[in-house]
Amino acid sequence: MLAPASIGYSAATPMAPRKAAWRLHAHGRGDYAGGVDAAARSAAVLGACALLACADAYAQAGYPVKPVRFINPVAAGGNQEIVARAVAEQLSKALGQQFIVESRPGASAIVGTRLVKAAAPDGYTFLAVSNTFARVPAIVAAAGYDPLKDFLPVSLMADIPMVLSVNPALPARTVKELIALAKQRPGELLYASAGSGSTGHVAAEMFSRQAAIKMLHVPYKGNAPAIIDLVGGQVMIMFDQISTSFPHIRAGKLRALGVTSRTRSPLFPDLPTIEEAGLRGFEDTTFNGLAAPAGTPQELRERLRQEMVKAVAVPEARNRFLERGIELKASASLDEFGAFLRKQVTEFAQLAKEAGIQSN
């Protein structure tokens, strides 16, 4: 906040020949040197507040005055980093300052997350977040952060639906047929995921609970080996992001049964949502967003959110990501994204407890 060290006010009153002074300092305390009436003191305070408000507005209008960092806490090259870079590029153009994406992966995104938690809350360091950010503390005792207490919301950046796919050898061509088969063979059907607690694992658990079925989880160390075994027939079922499963579905190596979003994917306009296919109320997508260290001023976060609304609306960028099955979108307010994160955290914590989900 830009403000003078002190703002002075002096007045002489007709009641006394001596000078009286009211001095209001930037930290908010006043020194009364006698003889100044209440009206004069009020005027001094109001005048000082107005000056401070103007200074604060000036500071926000000049933001940013140096490069801004977006910390990506997962491996480079994935959707989370790609989305963050696309948004950062548009913000750099709009605000005339560099927005830099730095990847700091490690320990289920904990390394990069802790780095941002410890950063100065000055509006120059932010965290690119996803489902992992909201879920890790529920299954990793030593996560070292609380997503709701140690961070403040900025905005959503993207929504990425998943697709339920099966190996073509599995005798199930629809969601209803898969559910019926799983009920005939409880605990026998193998489904793959990128690891315990991953988005695919959580989606499959949600699906199983809502459909009242039991399938056997086979966790892999990453998405790539899980997809390889799904195509090879070592496992038969998987929930995966559309962007990574799309080439295999198009080549006929996998059979898509439904998407996890409430609306159909532009990549598969003829493929029903899982809700349309018979599992009422089912929805589970991957999100990308932006959070700030606790203490970051609301004005700076709101300024950035407003610019992000414009950034995700650029037609060229939107169309490029839609081709990958990714919808760029921003939150309508800070509170909206905050409520979204709270829902993600609380619902997963309950699911993890009930389903016994633990980290690898």
Share of the chain above pLDDT 70, in %: 83
Query: Cα(225)–Cα(192) distance, rounded to whole angstroms?
Result: 10
Least-confidence region, from 11-15, 62-66, 128-132: 11-15
**Phi, psi at residue 257, to the nearest 5°?**
-105, -30
Q: Is the pLDDT of residue 34 over 60?
A: no
Q: Is the pLDDT of residue 85 over 90?
A: yes
Report the pLDDT value the prediction gives residue 66, as an integer from 0 to 100: 97
Report the pLDDT value the prediction gives residue 75, as an integer from 0 to 100: 86
Number of separate helices (H) and strands (E) present in the chain? 11, 13
Query: Cα(273)–Cα(227) distance, rounded to whole angstroms?
Result: 21
How would residue 111 be classed by pLDDT, with cut points 50, 70 and 90? very high
Query: Cα(260)–Cα(286) distance, rounded to whole angstroms?
Result: 10
Q: Is the pLDDT of residue 273 over 70?
A: yes
Least-confidence region, from 111-115, 221-225, 231-235: 221-225
pLDDT, average across residues 117-145: 96
How would residue 56 be classed by pLDDT, with cut points 50, 70 and 90? very low
Query: Cα(293)–Cα(126) distance, rounded to whole angstroms?
Result: 7
DSSP state of 136: H
Is 163:256 a contact under the CB 8 Å cutoff?
A: yes
Report the pLDDT value the prediction gives residue 360, as an integer from 0 to 100: 63
- For residues 49 and 114, the model is more confident at 114
Is 148:291 a contact under the CB 8 Å cutoff?
A: no
**199-212: pLDDT as tens digits:** 999 999 999 999 99
Give the DSSP H or E segment for 207.
helix 199-211
How would residue 28 be classed by pLDDT, with cut points 50, 70 and 90? very low
> Token digits for 296?
């970051």
Q: Is the pLDDT of residue 356 over 50?
A: yes
Q: Is the pLDDT of residue 131 over 80?
A: yes
- Count of alpha carbons within 13 Å of 187, Cβ hemisphere only? 0
Report the pLDDT value the prediction gives residue 60, as an integer from 0 to 100: 54
> Token digits for 119?
């950063």
> Mean pLDDT for the chain?
85
Query: Cα(333)–Cα(72) distance, rounded to whole angstroms?
Result: 22
Report the pLDDT value the prediction gives residue 45, as an integer from 0 to 100: 43
Q: Is the pLDDT of residue 334 over 90?
A: yes
CA-wise closest residue to 209 among 281, 286, 317: 281
pLDDT, average across residues 311-337: 94
Report the pLDDT value the prediction gives residue 108, as an integer from 0 to 100: 86
Is 347:281 a contact under the CB 8 Å cutoff?
A: no
Omega into 64 within 30° of 0, i.e. cis?
yes
pLDDT, average across residues 10-31: 37
Q: Is the pLDDT of residue 330 over 70?
A: yes
Q: How do 19-25 and 30-32 pair as beta strands?
A: antiparallel
pTM: 0.77
Query: Cα(114)–Cα(143) distance, rounded to whole angstroms?
Result: 9
> Token digits for 217?
């989880």
Q: Is the pLDDT of residue 312 over 70?
A: yes
Q: Is the pLDDT of residue 37 over 80?
A: no
**230-241: pLDDT as tens digits:** 999 999 999 998
Report the pLDDT value the prediction gives residue 233, as an integer from 0 to 100: 97
pLDDT, average across residues 7-26: 36
Query: Residue 233 region, left (φ>0) first, then alpha (ψ -120 to 50), else beta?
Result: left
Q: Is the pLDDT of residue 215 over 70?
A: yes
Q: What are the start-end ranges of the E strands in the chain?
A: 6-12, 19-25, 30-32, 68-72, 99-103, 125-130, 151-166, 190-193, 216-219, 237-241, 255-259, 285-293, 327-328
Report the pLDDT value the prediction gives residue 70, as an integer from 0 to 100: 98
Those residues with Cβ within 8 angstroms of residue 56's Cβ, 6 or more apart along the chain or in another chain: 1, 2, 3, 299
Q: How do 327-328 and 19-25 pair as beta strands?
A: unpaired
